[in-house]
Structure formats: structure tokens, C-alpha cells
Amino acid sequence: MSEPRRAPRVRMTGSQRREQLVTVGRALFAEKGFEGTSVEEIAARADVSKPVVYEHFGGKEGIYAVVVDREVQRLLGMLTEQLSSGGHPKDVVERAALALLDYIEDNTDGFRILVRDSPVAQATGTFSSLIGDVASQVEHLLGAQFRGRGLDPEAAPMYAQMLVGLIALTGQWWLEARHPAKRDVAAHIVNLAWNGLSGLQRDPHLRSPESGPRAQRPSRAPTPAEPTPGPSTSGPSTPGPSTPNPSTPGPSTSGPSMPSAPA
């Protein structure tokens, strides 16, 4: 009895093969991270030889770069759309928070890849660069709001980083927790962010004069280098502190009326 013949391998075009390798690589990077994924695994899961991977991408770095760039553009597009659609600033914050949580919910693998450590040579297309791009857009929105409220617009870049970081780090936490529900998380983000922005002071300052290791501490009396006798409470027969003559073996034990020995 002859064995069943294997179905012939479908020959793909160059673009089809590239898309297949990107899809396979995306799944492996989300599962194992960049360092934990090998070219051998990518080739085996795609049912091709290693030279095919090198031919199309030069190695796993090439696949990773394409995957990350696509995810960055997808998420950046979603956030940009919400930030540029106008409306009340509180509504903008709400839409941006929901956009990030929507992306995490619908593209879990993609977000896992973005928040993982990228290769050292990967200078652009990382999650940190995406945060910087989004913060630049938020900066313009905050700058206009600050000027209208009499606040310093030069502080807008700093507050933009704070606001975007708040949303992004909460999203990273929710990626694993998935509780509370998405809309509840967004509501709490808006609650903290909006109440903070609406209550900004023109000239904020710390309550303590200095913070950190150099903060002021309660003062105390200096400790003398050598112990000295305390103040006497007895009669005049006890001498006060004196500097002994180097030629004498020690302080005199007689009363204060006794003259010192001749030299």
C-alpha cells in the first residue's frame, strides 16, 4: 500500500512570502520577545528554509523593524485622529485614553511587541519614540489652553509628557490586568488627568524647602572633639576647665588659690 502523497507546496510571490514571514514573526515576537525568537523558529513556522528568511529580510532584525513600524503607525494614527478632532479638552483626553485601550484590546500582540525592549540598533519606531510623537501633538493642545488660562505655555511640553505617560503606563498595566472594564479604566484616567489639569497653579512649589538626600534636618548641638568636664555646681574649691601646661603631668587637684609651680 503506497503512502499518501503530500500536497505540493504552494509557490508564493515575493510580496506574499514577505507578508507571510512578517505575520509569523509578529506572532513569535509577541510570544517570546525579540531576543527569544530565532531565525530557525521563523523559518520552521513559515515552512521555509533559513536562506529564504535572509533573502527577504537579512535576518530577524529586518522582520522586527517592519512589524514595529506597522504597529507604531497604526497606534499613532488612532491617537492622532482623536487628538486632532477638536472639542472640549476633557473630551479629547477621554477619546485618546479610549483609543489606546481599544488598540490594546484589538491588537494585543502588537502592543506586547511595542512595550518590549527593542534591539539596541533600533533607534526609531519604538514605543518611546511613539510616546514622543504623541506628546508633541498634546503639547500644542496644552499650549493653547495654557495661554488662554494665563498659565506659562513653556511648561506645556513637560505636562504633555506627564499626561501621555499617565495614559501609556496605565495601558501597559491594563494589558495584563484586563480589569476593571475598558471604559471604567478610561473614566479613571480622565478623572485623574482632567482634575489635575483643571486645578493647575500658576506658580507651583513644594511645601518643603528642599527635597531629597540634601533636605534640611533638625539642627543639633555640635559634638566636641574631646570630652570636657561639665559645669561645676560645687564651691570654689573645684576649678573650672583649664588648659594644662605641657610640662606638667596633669591638671592640679588643689584649690584655685594655690600658685602654679615655678618653671
pLDDT in tens, 107-165: 999 999 998 866 644 555 678 888 999 999 999 999 999 999 999 999 999 999 999 99
Q: What cell was used for 159? A: 505636562
Please name the residues in contact with 57: beta carbons below 8 A apart, sequence gap of 6 or more. 18, 21, 63, 66
Can you give the CATH number for the domain in which 106 is found?
A: 1.10.357.10
pTM of the model: 0.71
Let me know if residue 160 belongs to a domain.
Answer: yes
Radius of gyration of the chain (CA): 36
Let me know if residue 254 belongs to a domain.
Answer: no
Rounded Cα distance, 168 and 243, in Å: 70
Q: Which of 29, 43, 39 is nearest to 59 (CA)?
A: 39
Let me know if residue 57 belongs to a domain.
Answer: no
pLDDT given for residue 126 in this prediction: 79
pLDDT in tens, 35-65: 999 999 999 999 999 999 999 999 999 999 9
Please name the residues in contact with 116: beta carbons below 8 A apart, sequence gap of 6 or more. 29, 33, 34
Let me know if residue 17 belongs to a domain.
Answer: no
pLDDT in tens, 198-225: 999 999 999 988 755 665 555 555 555 5
Number of domains in the chain: 1
**Domain around 92:** 68-198
Mean pLDDT calculated for residue range 82-109: 94
Let me know if residue 181 belongs to a domain.
Answer: yes
- pLDDT band (50, 70, 90) for residue 262: very low
Let me know if residue 38 belongs to a domain.
Answer: no
Let me know if residue 105 belongs to a domain.
Answer: yes
